[in-house]
A and B are shown apart, each in its own frame.
Chain A
Amino acid sequence: MAVSATPGEPRPFLVIRPPRRWAPFNLRELWQFRDLLSRFARRDLTLRYRQTALGVVWVILQPLLAAGALAFVFGSVAGLSSSGVPYFAFAFAGMLGWNVFSGVLTRMSGSLVGNAQLVSKIFFPRLVLPLSSVGSVLVDFLVSMAMMAVIWPLAGVAPGWSLLTLPLWLAAVLLLSSGIGLLAAALMVPYRDVQYVLPVATQLLLFISPVAYALARVPHSARFLYELNPLTGLLEGFRWALLDIGRLDAFTTMWAFGCSLVFFVAGCFAFAHMERRFADVI
């Protein structure tokens, strides 16, 4: 919405016109609503454990239980190797990356439909809703990192210099999940079907990503296809940063980072394109 002032006339504060087909995001406006961004994030955090008996304990319990279950199934029952570290630590490190991905995807995709009332009644940059959902996922991540710090000595593992690359892997997972999340959030407005497809797809993805087992266990014949999944490179990277195990493959890593960036940009464009219809169809 560009402002064009005719000389001699006062400059309007804002001009509203029919939107162009591919309008970019108005980042200045997003910045003006930064308080709302943090309010939404805080609301999500407050609401999550209100009226639960254990409250915040769930933040700690959930990843422990999940990693425990994976360690039992893949380590004890299936007897897979875990590159010399205790299977629990191995699974926990994988879960750390996976939880960021699935957390962002799940919360972001439902953020518009879950706030339909707001979208149809009040103006604010729509991007605020999906972006704010990243907040609570990051808090979970920080809590899990603190738990990782406890697990390191217990498992007899010391992180190496590779730990310094963790923010890079985190950033890539965030880009990838936000890209898909934005697309899913926007698509869910006219097509609620997305909300049924997404959990199934996420669950499938969990099994074809190296969360509970190492990439090294995947048969060579399937490697190429397996590595097309950008999560493969990213989760291996997570585990390399946290536990200093595995070898990074240059191609897989570049591919994963490249895909994350492409998904993010595509998600942003799709969201910006569909944004203007939200209030009319939600």
Chain B
Amino acid sequence: MSSSDLAISVRGLSKSYTIRHQEEHHVTLAEQLLHRARHPFSSQERETFWALSDVDLEVRQGEVLGLIGRNGAGKSTLLKVLSRITPPTKGEVRLYGRVGSLLEVGTGFHPELTGRENVYLNGAILGMRTKEIDRRFDEIVAFAGVEKFLDTPVKRFSSGMYVRLAFAVAAHLDTEILLVDEVLAVGDADFQRKCLGKMEAVASTGRTVLFVSHQLASIRQICETAVELDKGMIRRVGDARDVVDEYLSADGTESITERSFASAGRPGTGDLRVRHAQLDAPTYRPDQEKRVTFRIERQALGAARFYFVVVLRSRDGTAVSFCDSRLTDPGWYDPADALGIELVVTHPWLTVGQYSVDIMLLSYGLLDLVEGALRFDVSDVSPYPNPETDDVHRHAHVLPSFTVKRRRHRHDGVTA
């Protein structure tokens, strides 16, 4: 590779965090003082955690590179270092062009401000000059499809409109290098397609895109090359299809049916956090109900009403089902100090394979997102009366529950 067409060059990049081990999380000073008074000599243990260690990477101009890897593999940290949100601990990054980053849709949107005001504010936050926004304003609004609501405070927007407008602003950034982190997690299918289309369009104009996603299907679709990160190190680099295939065929991971979570270190405002999740019933049969329970803890006193979304994903990241609490009653929940939720998915029946469960808490924007909170396996047991054909598992993601009846055959025509 000649060095003249480089867009990003990363050499020996490492990033460490110091983690404090704290048993409980104390929100207010009073709580902290109380804790101190009760445990005057407990010192917090510190541990160094390497989120990235010795990463070397070169990205050509106009390349669309996908970053994949399990949770905590260092994908988001890499994007944060590249976009200068957090400094590296060691190593060096050379960027040959302006960098725009889109790490969470709608950050910087203010609910009290109108759509118009938010477009300008958000544009400026992302590094656009006022003139640039003026020029592209109509385009942004048309892309989001919110022309009629420009002078309405965005707190009155539906969450769909909110996300559309936020993505629209970011999608019109004119930087040579674009960093994108799983922005397609929310929004309806139609809009997700539109976003993917926009990213392909961006790439076709010769700009460089770094794209982090759990939806391996979209990585396959829009990226030429892909990098798999594992424990902060690069494991595979190469053609996107090959890397994704190898990633998928690698040893399956253990299922996780119960797990507790820290209150920090995840996307979202953190006003509410999922602290514990579990799968109650056994789930190995395709037709068994999937009973997901989780506990939510309030972290901020002023937390607003919220709803949640639970997504079941197959191993290639495809969302197999999307359970939005707003579709049921009561839909929206008041944040209590601790709140338990039980969600039962009875249909569809799932085919053989491993599935992961994402839990999202939302109000006006993301409060918490636990990716891969739980994992479970479905075996190739047939839920049907005749077990012979295991083939059904290989042809589709879900299994239909269907019946067949024999009808008496009749000719079309006049029946007198």
Contacts and interface: CB of A to CB of B under 8 A. Distances in A.
Nearest to A16: B93
Nearest to A17: B92
Contacts of B124: 33, 35-36, 39
B85 A16 contact: no
B83 A123 contact: yes
A117 B107 contact: yes
Given A16-B81, A193-B29, A10 B108 contact: no
B53 to A, nearest CB: 14
B401 interface: no
Contacts of A17: 88, 91-93
A280 B17 contact: yes
The binding surface of chain A is classed by DSSP as mixed
A10 B3 contact: yes
Nearest to A50: B112
Given A43-B121, A276-B87, A35 B95 contact: no
A121 B103 contact: yes
A196 B33 CA distance: 13
Interface string A170-193: 000000000000000000000011
B6 interface: yes
B98 interface: yes
A18 B92 CA distance: 8
Contacts of B91: 17-18
Contacts of B126: 122
Contact of B125 (A15, A47, A118, A279): A118
A12 interface: yes
Interface in B97-121: 97-99, 101, 103-104, 107-108, 110, 112-113, 117, 120-121
A171 B407 CA distance: 92
Interface in B186-227: none
B92 A16 contact: yes
Nearest to A23: B87
B127 interface: yes
B127 A33 contact: yes
Nearest to B6: A10
B94 interface: yes
B117 A46 contact: yes
Interface string A1-35: 00000000110111111110000000000000101
Contact of B107 (A15, A16, A19, A118): A118
A196 B107 CA distance: 27
B255 interface: no
Nearest to B93: A16
A221 interface: no
Interface in A38-58: 39-40, 43, 46-47, 50-51
B307 interface: no
A62 interface: no
B253 interface: no
Contacts of B9: 12
Contacts of A50: 112
A124 interface: yes
Interface in A94-130: 117-118, 120-124
Contacts of A43: 110, 113, 117, 121
Given A33-B127, A117-B107, A122-B103, A16 B117 contact: no
B284 interface: no
Contact of A18 (B3, B87, B104): B87
Interface string A49-72: 011000000000000000000000
B29 A15 contact: no
Contacts of A15: 92-95
Given A16-B95, A117-B108, A124 B127 contact: yes
Most buried by B among A19, A123, A192: A123
B113 A46 contact: yes
B125 to A, nearest CB: 6
Contacts of B29: 192-193, 196
Contact of B85 (A12, A123, A193): A123
B260 interface: no
B269 interface: yes
Contact of B86 (A13, A33, A36, A279): A279
A276 B84 CA distance: 10
Contacts of B80: 279
B89 interface: yes
A65 B90 CA distance: 56
A245 to B, nearest CB: 43
A121 B107 contact: yes
Contacts of B22: none
A122 B125 contact: yes
Contacts of A33: 124, 127
B156 to A, nearest CB: 12
4 pairs of A and B residues whose beta carbons are closest in the complex: A12-B94, A16-B93, A39-B124, A36-B124
18 contacts: A10-B96, A12-B9, A14-B95, A15-B92, A15-B94, A16-B87, A18-B88, A18-B91, A39-B124, A43-B121, A47-B112, A117-B107, A117-B108, A122-B126, A123-B85, A124-B125, A192-B29, A280-B17
Interface of B: 3-4, 6, 9, 17, 29, 80-99, 101, 103-104, 107-108, 110, 112-113, 117, 120-121, 124-130, 269
Given A36-B127, A117-B269, A122-B103, 20 more contacts: A10-B3, A10-B4, A14-B94, A16-B82, A16-B87, A16-B93, A17-B88, A17-B92, A35-B128, A39-B121, A39-B125, A40-B121, A43-B117, A50-B112, A51-B112, A118-B107, A118-B125, A122-B101, A124-B127, A196-B29
